[in-house]
Amino acid sequence: MNVNAEPLLKLTGIVKQFPGCLANDRVDLTVGHNEIHALLGENGAGKSTLVKIIYGVMKPDQGEIRFEGVPIVVQNPAHARQLGVGMVFQHFSLFEALTVAENIALGLNDPEDRKDLRSRISQISASYGLPLDPDAAVHDLSVGERQRIEIVRCLLQKPKLLIMDEPTSVLTPQEVDKLFVVLRRLASEGCSILYISHKLKEVRELCEKATIMRLGRVVAHCSPREKTATELAELMISSQLKSKAEKRSAADEAPPRLVLDRLTIRSSHQFGTDLKDISLTVRQGEIVGIAGIAGNGQTELMDALSGEVPAGRPETVMLDGTPIGHLGPRERRKLGGCFVPEERNGHGAVTTMTLAENAFLSGHVRAALARMGFVDQTRTAGFAQGVIERFDVRTTGPRAEARSLSGGNLQKFLVGREVQQHPSVLVINQPTWGVDAGAAIAIYDAIVHLADGGTAVVIISQDLDEIMLLCDRIAVIAAGRLSPPVPVKQATVAQIGLLMGGTAASAEGEAARKEAAIA
Amino acid sequence: MLRFEPRGYSSRFWSFGSPILALVLTVIVTGAFFALMGSPPIKAVYTFLVEPLLSYNGLSALLVKAAPLIMIGVGLSLCYRANVWNIGAEGQFTLGAIFGGGFALLFPDAPWQLAYPTMLAIGILGGMFWAGIVAFLRTQFNANEILTSLMLTYVAQLVLIYLVTGPWRDPMGFGFPQTAMFSDAETTPTIIPGTHIHLGCAAAPVLAVLVWLLLTKSVLGFQLRVVGQAPRAARFAGFSEPRLIWIALLISGGLAGLAGIFEVSGPIGQLTTSISPGYGFTAVIVAFLGRLHPIGAIFGGLLLALSYLGGDAAQIDLGLPNAVTGIFQGVLLFFLLGCDILILYRLKPRPSLQPAMSPAE
Amino acid sequence: MIFFLTSFLISVIAAATPLLLAATGELVAEKSGVLNLGVEGMMLVGAVAGFAVAYGTGSTILAVAAAVVAGAGMALIFSFLTLTMLANQIATGLALTIFGRGFSALAGAGYVGIAGPVLPKLHIPIISDLPLIGPVLFGHDALIYLSFAILALTAWFLYRTHAGLILRAVGDSHDAAHAIGYPVINIRYLATLFGGAMSGLAGAYMSLSYSPLWAQDMTAGRGWIALALVVFAAWRPLWLLVGAYLFGGIMYLSLYIQGLGVPIPSPLVSALPYVATVVVLVIISRDVRRIRLNQPASLSKPFHATA
């Protein structure tokens, strides 16, 4: 056992300033040997920036980094790798058109490291329980398999410190367990782990030490197992924000407003998922959640619901009894459908246009914002202003460009834009992705209020907590199929996790399901 | 070391300043070119840019040259705003001339009230037809419109050569590759007597205003702008991308065709093998100089028309080859594209690492 | 019969070579994510530079070198504007063509109608005189052999070396490449300069061997056809060979038909290569899946390292 007096990594007084944002404000961090250390904080706390500094992607404006006691200036990621730091990013740096072996080769600059690469990949990946075929093309792989590439790539360089940035947001609960086994083994073998997450349960399960950040500052160093999840949460969040949204139940016999009948569509995206036989009924005043890991058909489902992709037979999608499967977005809006897509930039909104113009984008149908082929500027600005006021959007006014808004504010505007149109049916894909806690609460309140008024709401989300909080019933989408919805009160996280695993390529998924079925 | 840092918004100052800075830099570089070719730079730049403006003849020639540039440039501004890269305006100009000119040659004796508007309309249809091919290939077969519209430009030129040296050649033209002159009924009238300023010169700015209104105030214009900036958002809004591609190409093709028929029925008076000194390509620069704004195209068109006159003046007065026009235009576009970065980015010194705080804590 | 076949093959090879050279260069640039529409302009500048230096020094070797430098110089202007100043790649490529046409016309004004030195053809005693295979395989000038060699080297570089892998990675995802630590901008500069050098070389071939003379706009759209070729080949080097020779064949066909005195008017026959380009583009582009699978995903997208 290496009893080195110096800690493995010691950061002191790190400062990093971006235009308009102090991402790291005199941050201190110490990671010891054989340690699994959590870096906790909400979106926007500064965690990603800090680890990018450790990994050499950017340099700090001030502060010192010591690696095994020696002060270091990390020049770039290659240098970081030489020092023994490996990083698995939240958003993978993978090249879709290349093979597994080629992708890994790209992270290895020393030709020595690239010798016998394919056989070494097979060997290491199998030995750690993360099997990979070196000649598979990345675009054929599932998200969990892609993460394995990132991990194996790091392992091949025998790191001393492995940084993992939100690794479990793309994994089923069963895959998370397997990952933890690997991480614990690595830590015991001499590779410390710096584990970034905002998921308190996982952190308490896995990590011995934690550094908690909030708004760029370190607010606490602690041992997660000695604190309750609530205590940790309070340290992470700036105020005692409580959502007024409470779990509600809609009347069982309310009339159906949105009905999907065996919806089957071939994906138009390059590496997309085909939808198979999706059926769903959403009643008046009901909120139905569709859970699932990214890449299982959510985008295709959203496109089919909004009308961007036609659904074949008109009766496959019915809105208040009217077949709409063959109709485009404008016609669907006329009949009462409103939609908030996953991607704000370039899909839900045009970032270079003003809020008024963005309001016109979806609102021109139901809010009658055009007159005789011309845009009614006054009405449009008024509509936008109404949204801004009602939903507390922090901006200078309807003439502000969409890109000048923060993520949370823009999302509030986009949700508000749809809500102000008094829809019969509202479909939202990832309602609070990349959104700060305050805006998220506002959005939840708006959704619940809408449902109380009789609107049928569908929420597609990767965030299970959010769905459990808001929804009456929950279904899971996996590999393009939808599980039968169950009331949220009756659903358990384990059950949903199994459904999320679905018919994924991994054989372990099969085995795990069999196990669970027997148990 | 300097680096570019995103502003996070578009700078209004530089939206106007960038073309002006580009022009200043271009003048300097062009002056240097003149010096390299053995001409005193200041005199040469004066001959190139100022002299043509100093006589009534020069001003009239300016407006005549500017008319097609503005008309085509306006259409291209609209097209490029919709992210449809129509590079074949030269071919659409040619087809407008061919269609309209063909009508004129076919019906030389018809009364002007009927013949003249019809000739213009058919010219517009010619340009639309040629651009329509590009739209068809793009929407049906996903064929890149840059390459197809360009190829069609070469084809159009060859069709023109064929017609003018073959079936449409003037039997009384002494064998020259040209058609008969158009009849009076089908000649575009001059609107200011004593000059060559013709109807097209008045039509061009009017069309610029109309297209500007379309682009900024109408629903269709909004749709075109959205599809150009964010095609997924356009789909989200229910705007049909293929339909908008067709419309963008038909409008820009029609305007180019109109410019073509005005040119051959006005200043030229007939069809020949060379009816354009590259208006369709220069109009690309006009569009960018005007920041893809139809009204800006008016100023861009005037400036680039000046560069044509300047090239001729440089040839006559200074003995320089009039290819200096091409240099001026190309360099202007270079500088314009380079200076544009200042609208979205600012120059800042690269931050240097500051020393660590005391190691004790 | 042998004579016809010989002259046919020689002519097709000659017609295909500038296309192959320019397309190979552009393929490398596009594989790194850069769309350079200025090929036509770079070819013209290469052609005039090559001719001028050949005429002035009498040395075709210096001339070819000058053409390469000229083409790369044009590509440098393009790279600076698009990679450093983040200008729109499509507009800048067009600007390069417009400038190239004007500049070459200006620089070449004094060389119109003059005969200059021609690239010497290979001649191996006895072997080059064999019927058919002699002239067809052993009777060409250096640039033709070079075009094959460069294509082979390019294919080897892209698919068998680590550096080529890095270049392909940059074209697939410049953000991921940057995250790993590769100098995206520098790699793109190099790829684009190579493209320019090759376009210059293609131009030199035109003015020193194919025509051989200088005339304004002498490339007559070959640069654009080379761009179409890259799409036709779905960004795979060996398919460039097929495409270049297909088009070389069509260009030869167009001249041949005119020579036959067939009653189709000559301008319309001259239009054949351009129409064929459109047809080929349409056929290839229909297969949206193949395009998406092979087109470099970050093609023509500007890259700015956000801190």
Please report the pLDDT score of residue A439 as a whole number.
86
What local confidence, expressed as pLDDT, does residue A408 receive?
Answer: 86
| Mean pLDDT, chain A, whole residue set | 85
CA distance A1 to A190: 8
- B5–chain C nearest CA distance, Å: 8
Q: Is B161 on the interface with C (CB under 8 A)?
A: yes
The helix (H) or strand (E) run that includes residue B263 is helix B241-265
Domain co-membership, A230 together with A263: no
Question: For C77-129, how does the pLDDT look when each residue is reduced to its tens digit (9 = 90+)?
Answer: 999 999 998 888 988 998 899 889 888 988 888 888 888 888 888 777 777 77
Residue A105 in any domain: the answer is yes
* A98 & A166 share domain: yes
Q: What percent of chain C has pLDDT over 70?
A: 99
A223, A276: one domain: no
Q: Count of domains in chain B?
A: 1
**Where are the alpha helices (H) located in C126-221, listed in sequence order?**
133-138, 142-160, 162-172, 174-180, 184-205
Phi, psi of B343 (to 5 degrees): -70, -40
Radius of gyration from C-alpha coordinates of chain B: 23
Residue A498's pLDDT band (cuts 50, 70, 90): low
Residue B222 pLDDT more than 70?
yes
Q: Interface partners of C (3+ CB pairs, < 8 Å)?
A: A, B
The domain that contains B39 carries what CATH number? Answer: 1.10.3470
Domain shared by A16 and A90, yes or no: yes
Hey, what are C30's tokens? 């596009």
A369 domain residue, yes or no? no
Residue C271 neighbours by CB distance under 10 Å: 22
| CA B50/CA B46 separation, integer angstroms | 5
What does the pLDDT read at residue A237?
Answer: 63
Q: Quick one: angle between helices C39-57 and C222-232, nearest 10?
A: 130
pLDDT digits (tens, 9 = 90+) for A207-238: 999 998 888 889 889 898 888 777 777 777 65
Sorted by where each starts, the structural domains of chain C and their CATH numbers stand as: 2-294 (1.10.3470)
Q: What is the pLDDT at residue A508?
A: 38
pLDDT of residue A3: 53
For the ranges A19-33, A86-100, B294-308, the one whose mean pLDDT is highest: B294-308
Tell me how crowded residue C74 is: count the other CB atoms within 10 A of its CB: 31
pLDDT of A272 higher than 90 = no
Question: Which residues of C are less than 8 Å from B22 in CB distance?
Answer: none
In a domain, residue A389? The reply is: no
Query: CB-based contacts of B76: which residues, under 8 Å, 6+ apart?
Result: B86, B89, B252, B283, B284, B286, B287, B297
Q: How far is CA A479 from the centre of its chain?
A: 18
Please tell me which of the candidates C168, C175, C307 has its beta carbon nearest to residue A98: C168
CA distance C148 to C21: 9
Q: What pLDDT shows up at residue C47? A: 96
Residues A17 and A130 in one domain: yes
What's the Cα-to-Cα distance from C213 to each of C10, C55, C99, rounded to whole Å? Answer: 19, 10, 21
Query: Residues B266-295: what's their mean pLDDT?
Result: 90
Q: Is residue B360 part of a domain?
A: no
Interchain pair A329, B218: CB under 8 A? no
CATH classification at residue A154: 3.40.50.300
Find the mean pLDDT for residues A253-281: 86
Residue B141: Cβ-neighbour burial (10 angstroms; 0-12, 13-18, 19+): middle
Distance CA A265, CA A489 (A): 31
Do A83 and A115 share a domain, yes or no? yes
The reported pLDDT for the residue numbered B355 is: 41
Angle at A72 between CA A68 and CA A77, to 5 degrees: 100
pLDDT of residue B356: 36
Do A67 and A107 share a domain, yes or no? yes
Assess B147–C contact: CB distance below 8 Å, yes or no: yes
Residue numbers in A near B235 (CB within 8 A): 308, 329
B341 and chain C in contact, CB less than 8 A: yes
Which pLDDT belongs to residue A513? 43
Whether residue A362 and residue B240 make contact (CB cut-off 8 A), yes or no, is: no
Percent of chain A with pLDDT over 90: 48
Residue span of the structural domain in which A475 resides: 256-344+422-518
In a domain, B359, yes or no: no
C-beta atoms surrounding A205 within 10 Å? 13
Q: What is the chain A residue with the closest CA to B240?
A: A328
C226 C-beta neighbours (distance < 10 Å), count: 30
- Judged by CB atoms within 8 Å, which residues 38-57 of C form the interface with B? none
pLDDT of residue A271: 62
> For B125-143, how does the pLDDT look when each residue is reduced to its tens digit (9 = 90+)?
999 999 999 999 999 999 9
3-class DSSP state of A510: helix
Q: Rounded to whole angstroms, what are the CA distances from B222 to A329, B317, C228, C279, C287?
A: 17, 48, 32, 33, 31
- Taking residue A508's Cβ as centre, other Cβ atoms within 10 Å add up to 16
pLDDT number for residue A246: 53
Asked if residue A434 lies in contact with residue A407, where contact means CB atoms within 8 angstroms, the answer is: yes
Whether residue B233 lies within 8 A of chain A, CB to CB, comes out as: yes
Kindly report, residue by residue over C220-237, the tens digit of the pLDDT: 899 999 999 998 898 999
Residue, of A437 and B331, whose pLDDT is higher: B331
Q: How far is B38 from chain C (nearest CA, A)?
A: 14
CB-closest option in C172, C292, C307 to A95: C172
Q: Is residue A115 part of a domain?
A: yes
In a domain, A371, yes or no: no
On whether the CB atoms of residues B226 and B239 are closer than 8 A, the answer is yes
* pLDDT for residue A249: 57
Highest mean pLDDT, choosing among A62-66, A272-276, A310-314, C136-140:
A62-66
Q: Is A114 on the interface with C (CB under 8 A)?
A: yes
Same domain, A164 and A278: no
User: Where do runs of H (alpha helix) occur along A156-222?
Assistant: 173-188, 200-206
Task: Say if A5 is an interface residue toward chain C (CB within 8 Å).
Answer: no
B144 CB within 8 Å of a chain A CB: no
pLDDT at A374: 94
In a domain, A353, yes or no: no
* Tens-place pLDDT, residues A53-95: 999 988 999 999 999 889 999 998 888 988 999 989 877 778 9
Does residue B347 register a pLDDT over 70? Answer: yes
Instruction: State mean pLDDT over A148-164.
Output: 90
Query: What is the DSSP code string of A370-417?
Result: EETTEE-HHHHHHHHHHHHHHTT--SS-TTSBGGGS-HHHHHHHHHHH
The answer to whether residues A40 and A146 belong to one domain is yes
**Of A180, A205, A236, which closes a domain?**
A236
Q: Which residue has the higher pLDDT, C21 or B198?
A: C21
Q: Is the pLDDT of residue B243 over 90?
A: yes
Q: Is residue B354 part of a domain?
A: no
Say what the pLDDT of residue C51 is.
94
| H helical segments located in C32-121 | 39-57, 60-79, 89-108
- Inspect the interface and report whether the beta carbons of C292 and A270 lie closer than 8 Å: yes
Give residue A141's pLDDT band: very low, low, confident or very high (50, 70, 90).
confident
Least confident span in A68-82, A416-430, B240-254, C156-170: A68-82
pLDDT at A517: 42
**CB distance A77–C293 less than 8 Å?**
no
CB A23 within 8 A of CB A209: no
Task: Kindly tell me if the per-residue pLDDT of A390 is higher than 70.
Answer: yes
Same domain, A443 and A324: yes
Report pLDDT digits (tens) over A436-480.
778 888 999 999 999 999 999 999 998 877 888 899 999 999 878
Answer whether residue A134 is part of any domain.
yes
- DSSP string for B299-345: HHHHHHHHHHHHHHHHHHHH---TTHHHHHHHHHHHHHHHHTHHHHE
Highest-confidence range of A142-151, A506-515, B343-352, C286-295, by mean pLDDT?
A142-151
Please check the confidence at residue A515 and state whether its pLDDT lies above 70.
no
User: Is residue A140 in some structural domain?
Assistant: yes
pLDDT of residue C307: 39
**What CA–CA distance (Å, rounded) separates B86 from B79?**
7
| Statement: residue A241 has pLDDT above 50 | no
Name which of A182-191, A506-515, B3-12, B76-85 the model is least confident about: A506-515
d(CA A102, CA A94) in angstroms, rounded, equals 10
* pLDDT exceeds cutoff 70 at C31: yes
What is the rounded CA–CA span in Å between residue A151 and residue A32? 21
Residue A502 pLDDT exceeds 90: no
A515: distance to nearest CA of chain B, Å? Answer: 43
More confident residue, A206 or B8: A206
* Average pLDDT for A27-54: 88
pLDDT tens by residue, A332-382: 999 999 999 999 999 999 999 999 999 999 999 998 899 899 999 999 999
Chain A residues touching residue B217 (CB < 8 angstroms): 374-375
* Subunit contact C176:A105, Cβ cutoff 8 A: no
A59 → chain B, closest CA residue: B353
A111 in contact with chain B, both atoms CB, cutoff 8 A: no
pTM of the model: 0.84
The pair of three-digit structure tokens given for residue A280, joined into one six-digit string: 């769903």
Of residues B173 and C46, more confidently modeled: C46
Q: Determine the residue of chain C that is closest to A104 in CA distance.
A: C180
Rounded to an integer, what distance in angstroms lies between the CA atom of residue A426 and that of residue A306?
10
Structural domain count, chain A: 2
Query: If DSSP codes are grouped into helix, strand and coil, which group holds residue B123?
Result: helix
Q: Is C165 close to A105, i.e. CB distance below 8 A?
A: yes
Residue B28 within any structural domain of the chain: yes
* A53 and A173 part of one domain: yes
Higher pLDDT, B354 or C25: C25
**What is the pLDDT at residue A455?**
94
From A208, A236, A264, the end of a domain falls on A236
DSSP class of residue A6 equals S
Same domain, A217 and A334: no
Q: How confident is the model at residue A248 (pLDDT cuts 50, 70, 90)?
A: low
- C29 interfaces chain A, CB cutoff of 8 Å: no
Of A18, A98, A114, the CB nearest to C307: A18
| Range in A25-34, B46-55, B100-109, B150-159 the model is least confident about | B46-55
Name the residue range of residue B17's domain.
2-348
Distance CA C174, CA C185 (A): 9
